[in-house]
Amino acid sequence: MNILILGSGGRESAFAWKIAQSPKCEKLFIAPGNAGTHQYGTNVNLKVTDFEGIKQLVISEKIDLVLVGPEEPLVKGIHDFFLADEQLKGVPVVGPQQHAAQLEGSKDFSKQFMEKHNIPTAAYKTFTKDTLQEGLTYLATAGLPVVLKADGLAAGKGVLICLTLEEAQLELTQMLAEAKFGEASSRVVVEQFLQGIELSVFVMTDGTNYKILPEAKDYKRIGEGDTGLNTGGMGSVSPVPFADAGYMKKVEEKVIIPTVEGLKKDNIPYKGFIFIGLMNSEGEPWVIEYNCRMGDPETESVMRRIDSDFVDLLQGVAEGNLNEKELIISPKTAATVVMVAGGYPGEYLKNKVITGTENVRDSIVFHAGTSTQEDGVISTGGRVLAITTLQNDMFTALQQATADASRIYYDGMYFRKDIGFDLL
Ligand code: AMP
Ligand code: GLY
C-alpha cells in the first residue's frame, strides 16, 4: 500500500517510523513532514489544510490510505472532502468526519455528548454573549477554582483555571464580550474543577469495533515539578502504573464503551482515534476532554509499545474489520523527553543548528520542529525533538531518555529532567 501521513510533528514522526516497518507499506509520504521524517518516507511540502494539493498528491502517487495527524484538517472536514470527491471517495481516511471531529472542535458539543450518554465528566453550563449576565451569576454560585473553556479550537490556550470569582467573571466577560479567543470564545463552557492525576487514553475505532492502545501520561508544564506555563507537552511515559487492569476496566466500561456506543446511537460515523483526556480522581475516571486524533508527545511512547503491524490495524479501521486485527502491546516501558527551543512556550529561538544526535545511545530521535538547511538540521518550531526509549523497567527508561536528550545540543535547548519520575 501507498500511505500518506499528514502533519509535521513528533507524533507524525512516530507514525512514520512505525508504518515504514510494515511489510504492507510500499511507499510512504509525509506532508509536510520535517527533517527527520525523510528517513522513513518522502516529504511533500504541502500544508495539512491544502485539500486541493493533497488531492493532487493522492491521485499522482496512487495513495491507498491517508492518516491524519493533527486536528485542524479533521475539524475543517478533510474526511468529508474525500467522501464528496469522485476521485477520492475510494481512498480511506483515518480520522473522523467534520461532525464527529466536534468532539474536539467544540467543547459544548463534547459536553452535551457526554451528558447524553452518561459518561462521567465535570458538571458544566455553556454561555454565549447573550447569556453573559446569567454566566456571571452562575459563577457566583459555582465553587472555586472554576474552569472556563472557549468552545472552539484556540491553539491550546482556550482553557483557564480561575482561582477567584473576580478573575473568573473578568475572564468570562473578556471571552464572550471582547472575543478574547476570537470566534472560538463566542461560546464558553464553565465547568467544575476536578482534582486528581491526568491520564491519556487512546482508542482506535472503525465506528463499530475498537481497540484500546497503550495509555500514557503527558507532562504539560514547562518547568520541573509541573510548574510554569502550559506547553504542547514536554514528555510522556507508557504504561502508567495507576492505570492497572482494574482501573482500565473501569475506563472501558464507564467511558470507552459508552463513547463508541454513543457515537453509533447518534448516527455519527467515526473512523480514527479517540484520545480521551481523563482525570483520575480517587480511583474514578472523569473525562476532561476528547480529541479526535492521537496525542503528542504520547504517540511517540505509544508507537514504541505496539508490537503488531500498525498498517494492518489502520486497514482494520478503514475496512471496518478492526475486530479481526491483532494488537500486541509490549510490557516494556516507553519514555519520551521533548527538547524545546529556548523561550518556549513564549516567543522562542529559531534556526539553531542541532548537533549530537549521532551520540544518542538507546533512544529514537523523533523530529518535530526541524528542517534541513545547508548547514545541517536546524530548529524551526517550539518543540524541536522527542527522544523516546523503550526499556524493561521504568527507571531505566526515564534515565535513558533523559541521558540521551543531554547528548544533543543546540543554542538555547531545554528539556525537563524529571519526566516520569513522579510515577516511580
Ligand atoms: P483541555 O483543553 O480541555 O484539555 O484542558 C487543558 C487542561 O486544563 C487539561 O489538560 C487539564 O490539565 C486542565 N483542565 C481542563 N478541565 C479541567 C477540569 N474540569 N478540572 C481540572 N483541570 C482541568
Ligand atoms: N499531549 C496532549 C495533546 O496532544 O493534546
Task: Residue 36: name the closest of 71, 12, 72, 6 by CA.
Answer: 12
Domain residue limits at 375: 197-423
Q: Do 203 and 184 share a domain, yes or no? A: no
The pLDDT score that the predictor gives to residue 43 is 98
> Would you say the C-alpha torsion 69, 71, 77, 83 has a positive or negative sign?
positive
CA of 154 to the centre of ligand 1 (A): 14
Q: What average pLDDT does the chain have?
A: 97
Could you tell me if residue 275 is inside a domain? yes
Local confidence pLDDT in tens for the 424 residues of the chain = 999 999 999 999 999 999 999 999 999 999 999 999 999 999 999 999 999 999 999 999 999 999 999 999 999 999 999 999 999 999 999 999 999 999 999 999 999 999 999 999 999 999 999 999 999 999 999 999 999 999 999 887 899 999 999 999 999 999 999 999 999 999 999 999 999 999 999 999 999 999 999 999 999 999 999 999 999 999 999 999 999 999 999 999 999 999 999 999 999 999 999 999 999 999 999 999 999 999 999 999 999 999 999 999 999 999 999 999 999 999 999 999 999 999 999 999 999 999 999 999 999 999 999 999 988 999 999 999 999 999 999 999 999 999 999 999 999 999 999 999 999 9
The pLDDT score that the predictor gives to residue 363 is 98
Q: Do 283 and 179 share a domain, yes or no? A: no
Q: Do 185 and 222 share a domain, yes or no? A: no
Mutation choice for ligand 2 from 110, 291, 337, CB with most ligand atoms inside 8 A: 291
CA of 98 to the centre of ligand 1 (A): 23
CA of 277 to the centre of ligand 2 (A): 9
Q: Strand 65-68 to strand 2-7: parallel, antiparallel, or no bridges (unpaired)?
A: parallel
In the chain, the amino acid numbered 373 is Q
Cell 526509549 identifies what position? 389
Q: From the CB of 9, is ligand 2 less than 6 Å away?
A: no
CA of 346 to the centre of ligand 2 (A): 18
Could you tell me if residue 225 is inside a domain? yes
Say if pTM beats, i.e. exceeds, 0.85: yes
Helical (H) or strand (E) element with 248: helix 245-251
The pLDDT score that the predictor gives to residue 396 is 98
Q: Do 186 and 284 share a domain, yes or no? A: no
Mutation choice for ligand 1 from 75, 161, 275, CB with most ligand atoms inside 8 A: 161
Percent of the chain with pLDDT over 90: 99
Q: Do 347 and 205 share a domain, yes or no? A: yes
The per-residue DSSP string of 41-75 comes to SEE----TT-HHHHHHHHHHTT--EEEE-SHHHHH
CA of 121 to the centre of ligand 2 (A): 19
Q: Which residues lie with the beta carbon below 6 Å from any ligand 1 atom? A: 122, 147, 149, 159, 161, 191, 193-194, 198, 277, 288-289
Here the CATH number for the domain that contains residue 157 is 3.30.1490.20
On whether the CB atoms of residues 201 and 256 are closer than 8 A, the answer is: yes
Q: Do 131 and 243 share a domain, yes or no? A: no
CA of 333 to the centre of ligand 2 (A): 19
C-alpha cell at 267: 448516527
Number of the ligand 2 atom closest to the C-alpha atom of 291: 5
Q: How confident is the model over 314-353, as pLDDT tens digits?
A: 999 999 999 999 999 999 999 999 999 999 999 999 999 9
The pLDDT score that the predictor gives to residue 375 is 82
* Paired strand residues for 236: 218, 336
What is d(CA 228, CA 14) in angstroms, rounded to the nearest whole number?
27
Taking CB atoms within 8 Å and a gap of at least 24, the contacts of 369-373 are 369/9, 369/34, 369/341, 370/34, 370/35, 370/36, 371/34, 371/35, 372/35, 372/38
- Angle subtended by helix axes 165-177 and 132-141, to nearest 10: 160
What is d(CA 219, CA 400) in angstroms, rounded to the nearest whole number?
17
- Of the listed ligands, the closest to the CA of 295 is 2
On whether the CB atoms of residues 65 and 78 are closer than 8 A, the answer is: no
Residue nearest (by alpha carbon) to ligand 1 atom 7: 159
Q: How many structural domains compose the chain?
A: 3
How many beta carbons lie within 10 A of that of residue 104, not counting itself? 21
Query: How many Cα atoms occupy the beta-carbon half-sphere of 349 within 13 Å?
Result: 14
End-to-end CA distance of the chain: 42
Q: Coil, strand, or helix at residue 329?
A: strand
Residue nearest (by alpha carbon) to ligand 1 atom 3: 289
Q: From the CB of 291, is ligand 2 less than 6 Å away?
A: yes
With vertex at residue 59, the alpha carbon angle to CA 55 and CA 63, rounded to the nearest 5 degrees, is 95
For 50, 180, 221, 354, 395, the CA distances from 290, given in Å and listed in that order, are: 25, 23, 20, 35, 30
Number of the ligand 2 atom closest to the C-alpha atom of 297: 1
Torsion of Cα atoms, 184 then 78 then 29 then 298, to 10°? 40
On whether the CB atoms of residues 199 and 129 are closer than 8 A, the answer is: no
Number of the ligand 1 atom closest to the C-alpha atom of 286: 19
On whether the CB atoms of residues 59 and 85 are closer than 8 A, the answer is: no
Could you tell me if residue 70 is inside a domain? yes
- Of the listed ligands, the closest to the CA of 71 is 2
C-alpha cell at 64: 491507498
Query: How many Cα atoms occupy the beta-carbon half-sphere of 17 within 13 Å?
Result: 26
- Given 159, 176, 192, which residue is the final one in a domain? 192
Mutation choice for ligand 1 from 219, 289, 290, CB with most ligand atoms inside 8 A: 289
Q: Do 178 and 144 share a domain, yes or no? A: yes
Could you tell me if residue 402 is inside a domain? yes
Q: Do 404 and 329 share a domain, yes or no? A: yes
Residue nearest (by alpha carbon) to ligand 2 atom 4: 295
Mutation choice for ligand 2 from 296, 300, 340, 419, CB with most ligand atoms inside 8 A: 296
The pLDDT score that the predictor gives to residue 157 is 83
Q: Do 74 and 164 share a domain, yes or no? A: no
Could you tell me if residue 142 is inside a domain? yes
The pLDDT score that the predictor gives to residue 73 is 98
